[in-house]
Amino acid sequence: MTFQNELINWYNQNKRDLPWRHTNNAYIIWLSEIILQQTRVEQGLPYFNKFLENFPNVSDFASASESKVLKLWQGLGYYSRGRNMHATAQIVMSDFNGVFPTLYDDLIKLKGIGEYTAAAISSFSSGEARAVVDGNVFRVLARYYGINTPINSPAGKKQFYTLANELMFKEDAALYNQAIMEFGAMQCKPKSPACNICPLNQTCYAFNNHLVKELPVKIGKAEKKHRFFNYFICTQGDEILVKERQAGDIWQHLYDFPLIETLELPNWMDPSFNNTVKDFFGINTEFTLISYKKHILTHQIIHVHFFALKNYIFNFSKQKELNWVSLSKLDELPQPKVIHDFLEDNFKNKME
DNA sequence: AATCCGGGGAG
DNA sequence: CTCCCAGGATT
């Protein structure tokens, strides 16, 4: 049996029942594919259901506010996906008459849709014979064919895309694409795959040469940068001071608090830190440490300290993004995970 | 070519 | 801890 037929055979016997596999509606497939970028199925599934419920079609998505989209996205990470979806939904309304495109050449031009996602949506919605190459496909092909070109190098990317498209099962592109990804996710797993029961083990290069653990090859990760976020919690009656994060850094258009970032762990008993705080807020400041949280992202480790601030006079001319928000409405704003967790722990009762 | 962009789960 | 997940955009 051929490589392709083995994969499809395995898929028919072992596939999971996932909601986006019951449709060829390009809009619904697009929802699932964007949500699943760099995201496990188990983590993305509740978000997929939530988005489809709130936005049954692309028109509903396009007419929502960006803030509502980000609020629904809260906790999933890589928030540019949500912002790009919102922009793309509006382009589909204006440039495609509200009909979500199904052709690769149309899809690839849309925000947030790259080579993988354009291949996925086009093959699943219209059967276009474009091979998907995601983390699963890289791994399956690297092992089965014994390819040691780094998968995250330009040369590797080209090599794997070329091979994947040569292998494409043109009689049923959607079925084949689903099959190879599911096989990578469940059988040819990153760690300790069950090679002894694999239907392809007789012809798998890595298995026969004891290279399963070495493949695929990936080149070096940059070291994580440490950052120190010092948040100041300012309340006034039933209101709290929040800040909308701007472009050029993480969590764009999500909300946090007045922030002083320092280059190293600040000693808040030190007069110089006190002066920095005083300069930031105005005069006559007093603050006490509430809590600390270490927040780990892909390229940075953020040391987050929360302080309660008293006796403050703000210089709003320097802090235009600051706004007072009533505690009862705070939960409507999209927040980074570390902010949301802090509020859950310290303000839940006051937010009702 | 390298770096940025989140958060979670497995080992 | 480390690795990686149905990747894409930016520099």
Q: Which nucleotide does the CA of A132 lie closest to, via C1'?
A: C6
Q: Which of A288, A299, A293, A296 is nearest to A343 (CA)?
A: A293
Give SS3 for A225: strand
| Largest distance between two CA atoms of chain A | 79
pLDDT digits (tens, 9 = 90+) for A236-285: 889 999 999 999 999 999 999 999 999 999 888 888 998 888 888 776 67
Query: Which pLDDT tens digits describe chain A residue by residue (352 residues)?
Result: 899 999 999 999 999 999 999 999 999 999 999 999 999 999 999 999 999 999 999 999 999 999 999 999 999 999 999 999 999 999 999 999 999 999 999 999 999 999 999 999 999 999 999 999 999 999 999 999 999 999 999 999 999 999 999 999 999 999 999 999 999 999 999 999 999 999 999 999 999 999 999 999 999 888 899 999 999 999 888 999 999 999 999 999 999 999 999 999 988 888 899 888 888 877 667 899 999 999 999 999 999 999 998 866 665 545 667 889 999 999 999 999 999 999 999 988 877 6
DSSP annotation of A352 reads -
As a CATH number, domain A225-351 is 3.90.79.10
- Structure token pair of residue A138: 């890289």
| Nucleotides on strand B lying under 7 Å from protein C-beta | 1-11
pLDDT digits (tens, 9 = 90+) for A106-140: 999 999 999 999 999 999 999 999 999 999 999 99
Q: Which nucleotide does the CA of A40 lie closest to, via C1'?
A: C5
The CATH number corresponding to A3-208 among 3.10.20.30, 1.10.340.30, 3.30.420.40, 2.60.120.590 equals 1.10.340.30
- Which protein residues have any CB–strand C distance under 7 A? A 18, 20-21, 32-33, 36-41, 43, 78, 80, 84, 111-118, 120, 134-136, 138-139, 178, 181-182, 184-185, 190, 218, 221, 296, 298
**Residue A298 approaches strand B within 7 Å at CB:** yes
Question: In 10 A of CB A53, how many CB atoms?
Answer: 9
∠ Cα A274 A275 A278 (to 5°): 90
Query: Residue A34 CA to nucleotide C5 C1', Å?
Result: 13
**Residue A300 approaches strand B within 7 Å at CB:** yes
Query: Residue A179 CA to nucleotide B10 C1', Å?
Result: 23
Q: Contacts by A54-57 with C-beta closer than 8 Å and gap 24+?
A: A55/A31, A57/A27
Domain boundaries, chain A: 3-208, 225-351
Query: Residue A144 CA to nucleotide B1 C1', Å?
Result: 27
**Residue A149 approaches strand B within 7 Å at CB:** no
Q: Which residue is nearest to nucleotide C9 (CA to C1')?
A: A112
| Nucleotides on strand C lying under 7 Å from protein C-beta | 1, 3-9
Q: Read out DSSP for A84-113? A: HHHHHHHHHHHHSTTPPP-SHHHHTTSTT-
Give SS3 for A263: coil
Please give the positions of A annotated as active site.
33
**Residue A223 approaches strand B within 7 Å at CB:** no
Q: Which residue is nearest to nucleotide B4 (CA to C1')?
A: A299
